[in-house]
Each structure stands twice: as structure tokens, then as C-alpha cells.
Structure 1
Amino acid sequence: MILEKIATRTVERVAEMKQRTPLEHVIREAKALTPNNGLDINTVFPFEKALRAEGLSFICELKKASPSQGIIAQDFPYLQIAKDYEAAGAAAISVLTEPYWFHGHDQYLTEIHQQVGLPLLRKDFIVDGYQIYESKILGASAILLICALLNTETLKDYLDIAHGLGLSALVEAHTEEEVRSALAAGARVIGVNNRNLKTFEVDITTSIRLRALVPEDILFISESGIKSPEDVARLKANKTDAVLIGESLMRSENKKEQLAILRGEREIVSEHGTMRGDCV
């Protein structure tokens, strides 16, 4: 399965990083960037704050490629894309840093952090606590933790590390069992991936079905397969707090207009006269 291949290669990648920069150095640098050198009651989590704004929030993704689609964007001016997302009204930006299947890079995250004011989600496959400290150094406001890769105990450990660094964690689930694991671990943000990572099949009703398992005080995000303003409205009616949108924005030349279409603020008329929104 592709998820297992990515995880295996990521373990190797982390081992290579540890050879270059030992764990204790990364921990020290990350903690130096953390107010009060740790979590206290006054810690502000920008990613969560942004998603708790009134109405449905949009997390817009920077993604050059994916295992299911191959190369999505031959031309990839990531800084300009991030600025376009900010101008379009995104609440946060998701940045792929996985290099082999998604053609991501750590420098994308760091440079965007330096030039864009929105909270940044580091989208990678975290299999080692080392990556959490690294994410803080790179400029992330939040990290992705995938239930399919991590058991409940490990999730809890990683959540503790993240929160102690002032980082939010989007805990991603696809099944009832994974949602329950996320809750047991203490997740404050749960994202349901409508794409089955084993088969790549997409079904938006996955989010709708699993929403009932998540208490309303926990942020709920729907990811993948959101094809139209009608899908967005349906998710909003189902008390979804935010949607994560990638491919349709990456393929659109006008990010602001595409986001307006998905919000239902603007319509496109096809050559046949029908109204539609592009695929996410």
C-alpha cells in the first residue's frame, strides 16, 4: 500500500536528518522558539483560533504532486500561490513538505512563514517525534498526525509534544475506530479524510457519517473530494468547521475566484449553460 511505502521512506528520511542534526539540537532550538519554554494557560494556538472564526473556514493547500494525480502543477511559484491564498481569504494554508510522492520541500514552509501572515499546517507523514520539533523550527503553526500510522498511545505522546511547543495538531481519521482513537488521545482538531488512503476512492459522505462521533467543542475538518459549492454547503449544514481544499485551487489560475465559487459567492457558466464548481 502507498501509505506504508511513504511511511517506510519517511522513517529512512528522519534517520538521515538525525545524522545531520541530532535530536537534542533540534529539541533545544524548537524550545527556544516557544514562549515560556513550554505550554501555559496563556498559550495562543493560531491555527485553532483561525478555524474558530464565524462561518466555515477554508484551509488552502500548496501541493505540487500527489500519488493519486501525479504532477498537479508543473509551474510551482509557491510564494505567490501562498500570497494568492491569503488574498483570497483563506483561514490557513496547508504546505506539503513530503519530497518523494508529493514533491514537497521544507523550504516552502519556511519561506512562506517569513512572507505570509496566515497559520501554516505542515502536511507530512509524521512517524517520529523529531519531526514535530523540526516543524516548530520550520515555522509551522500546526502539524498533521495520521491515525492510520499511529496508535493511540503514540498519538497522545505526539500531541503532548506539539501542544508543549505551542503547535496545534490536525489528527486525521478515515474510520470510526480512528476517530475514537483520536478522541482517546486528546485531539482538539480532527480531520476526516474522505479519500481512502488504501484505495484512493473518495466519498464525501465519510465526513458526514463520522461527524456525529466528534463533540462539537472539537474542531472538525473535512478533507478531499469536495467538488462543488453544494458539497461545501452540505458540509457546513453538517456542522463542519473547516474544509481543506487542494487540487482544484492548485489547478485554477484565479485562486480568489475559485475559492469564491466554492463558497457559493460566484457561479461559473459552462459552454452548455450549466452552473458548476470545479473539483477539489
Structure 2
Amino acid sequence: MNVLARLADYARERVVEAKRRKSLAQIREEALTQPRGEFAFEKALSKKGLSFICECKKASPSKGLIAPDFPYLQIAQAYEAAGADAISVLTEPREFRGSDRYLAEISATVNIPCLRKDFTVDAYMIYEAKVLGAAAVLLICSLLEEEEIKAYISLCDELGMSALVEAHDEAEVRLALRAGARIVGVNNRNLKDFSVDIQNSASLRDLVPPHVIFVAESGIREAADVRAAVDMGANAVLVGEALMRAGDKKEKLAAFYAAANRVKECLS
């Protein structure tokens, strides 16, 4: 079994357990009683220039423990102070050492939108994300059928949330577009074997029309990678490990902004 399949199976187990604690009807009611979102995530990525989604991640299956000390609120606040457009928060508990608590507390602390980075396999997880304060969820084409992606995007629309639909190859990009994705992320990391090819985004960029937000994910480590993202016409990049390992996250993000020829007042 590849890593992605294992993560998906565990996500299904987690949903079963979550439904024992709180039924689908209960979590749905809780989500719908909250104010409808304003699609803050996709608005943040629609700005002129390259947008940055900065990740709070304690560990990963490929790298193991990345941040033994994990002051997640301080990290999120540092990202916001450095001018991040959005924050990606890992909530998968086993392989990524994530937690729903991280998302709930970060989303309540910062004023920029948060993406729930998890392996969405059930509508329950979308309602859950809304309750936790997320502005967006991740939908991975390798895990979902086209009709499921359509249904989940529709549910996000009902809640005022965004869906980052992740693809890895041409067939998945076309599937995402058929399903109505407004944000397509191309992962440079193959989640089946965790190899990384930074050129993957570039090779698939032309498949995504201009009105759809294009996100280059994974493998963004240095200024040259940021410049490559700008050159390919990406609207945004998702950066995880490079920032998590940086001693000075504000300085690292400032270097990325400089590479993208983007200057923010907060960095001056």
C-alpha cells in the first residue's frame, strides 16, 4: 500500500470515530449555524503578483519529525507578520503529527485565511473544517472520484469556503477542471512515493485556464524555485518544509518575496 492510500484509509477510520462522538447531523448543524464564509482563501490568492501559502507542519512521512519544538501559534503569527497570504495547517495526526486543535487555535489568532491540510474523504471533514475555522479544504484528485469532487466543491460553496483541488498529472488536472475547481494545485511531490520534481508544475501549467487560480505545491526551497513559479505563471505557491526549517521565518519569507519581485510594506 502506498503512503497516500494508507493516509486515506486512516482518514476514513478517523471519520468513523468522529461520527461516534458527534453525528453528521450535529456537525452539519454546527457548521451551518456559523456565519457563512466569504471565500477568503481564493480572494487572498487572487491578488496581483505571487501569493504565498505558508505551512504549519510538525512532521511528514518523507522527512519524519521536522519541528521537535512546535510553537504553532508563534509560527503562524510570524507568517502573518511576514506578509503571508494564507496559512496551511496540517491536521492529520499520525504521519504529520497534526491536530484539529492547531487549526482551531491558529484560525482564531490570525487574520489571514487558513487551509485545513488533510486527506478529505468524507463530507463530514468539510463541515468539521468549517467549525474549526478553516476558510478552505484540500481535495486530492488521487483519492476522489469526479462526482465526489463536484459534490464537495458544492458543499464548500454552501459554506462560503474554498476548495484547493490537488492534482499531480495531466489526467488529474483535467479531472479537477471538469469537476469545477476554481483553485487547482499541482503537487511537485508524488504522494505515492514522495519523490519531488519541481518541474511538474511548469509542465502542467498551460492546462489550467487563466480564470482558475494555479498553485505550485511542494519543492519550493530557494529563491530560484520562487522565480521558476513566477516564470511559469503560478498565482501562488505553497511552502512548507523550507519555512519550517528556517531559523528566521520572516527573513526567509522576505527573501522569497524579493525573488518574486513583490514588496510589502510590512517587509520594508
Identity %: 56
The equivalent of 1:276 in structure 2 is none
Deviations 1:21-57 (A, max 9, x none): 000001111011143xxxxxxx731101111111100
Deviations 1:63-108 (A, max 9, x none): 0000000000000000000000000110000000000000000010
**Cα distance between partner residues in 2 of 1:196 and 1:113:** 28
**Count of residue pairs brought into register by the alignment:** 259
Q: Decide whether the 8 Å contact of 2:140 with 2:165 is kept in 1.
A: yes
**Alignment-mate amino acid for residue 105 of structure 1:** S
SS of match in other structure, 1:178: helix
**Cα distance between partner residues in 1 of 2:240 and 2:95:** 15
- What is the 5 A alignment of 1:29-44? 29-35=30-36, 44=38
**Cα distance between partner residues in 2 of 1:10 and 1:21:** 16
**1:262 Cα offset (Å):** 2.2
**1:265 Cα offset (Å):** 5.4
**Cα distance between partner residues in 2 of 1:6 and 1:230:** 31
**Cα distance between partner residues in 1 of 2:62 and 2:42:** 29
SS of match in other structure, 1:101: coil
Greater relative contact order: 1 or 2 (C-alpha under 8 angstroms, separation 6 or more)? 2
The equivalent of 1:72 in structure 2 is 66
The one of 158, 162, 167 equivalent to 1:164 is 158
The equivalent of 2:170 in structure 1 is 176
SS of match in other structure, 1:212: helix
Which sections of structure 2, spanning at least 5 residues, go unmatched? 261-268
**1:149 Cα offset (Å):** 0.1
The one of 242, 248, 258 equivalent to 1:264 is 258
SS of match in other structure, 2:89: strand
- What is the 5 A alignment of 1:2-13? 2-13=3-14
SS of match in other structure, 1:74: coil
SS of match in other structure, 2:207: coil
The equivalent of 2:245 in structure 1 is 251
**Cα distance between partner residues in 2 of 1:127 and 1:211:** 26
**Cα distance between partner residues in 2 of 1:191 and 1:198:** 16
**Cα distance between partner residues in 2 of 1:184 and 1:192:** 15
**Cα distance between partner residues in 1 of 2:34 and 2:115:** 17
- What is the 5 A alignment of 1:1-280? 1-35=2-36, 44-264=38-258
**Alignment-mate amino acid for residue 25 of structure 2:** E
**1:226 Cα offset (Å):** 1.6
**Cα distance between partner residues in 2 of 1:84 and 1:139:** 19
**Cα distance between partner residues in 2 of 1:140 and 1:258:** 25
**Cα distance between partner residues in 2 of 1:234 and 1:138:** 34
> Which segment drifts farther, 257-266 or 116-125?
257-266
> Which segment drifts farther, 257-266 or 246-255?
257-266
**Alignment-mate amino acid for residue 221 of structure 1:** V
Deviations 1:145-166 (A, max 9, x none): 0000001011001111111101
Aligned-residue RMSD, C-alpha = 1.2
**Cα distance between partner residues in 2 of 1:175 and 1:169:** 18
**Cα distance between partner residues in 2 of 1:227 and 1:15:** 37
SS of match in other structure, 1:104: coil
Q: Please identify the structure whose Cα radius of gyration is greater.
A: 1
Which sections of structure 1, spanning at least 5 residues, go unmatched? 36-42, 267-280
Q: TM-score, normalised by structure 1?
A: 0.90
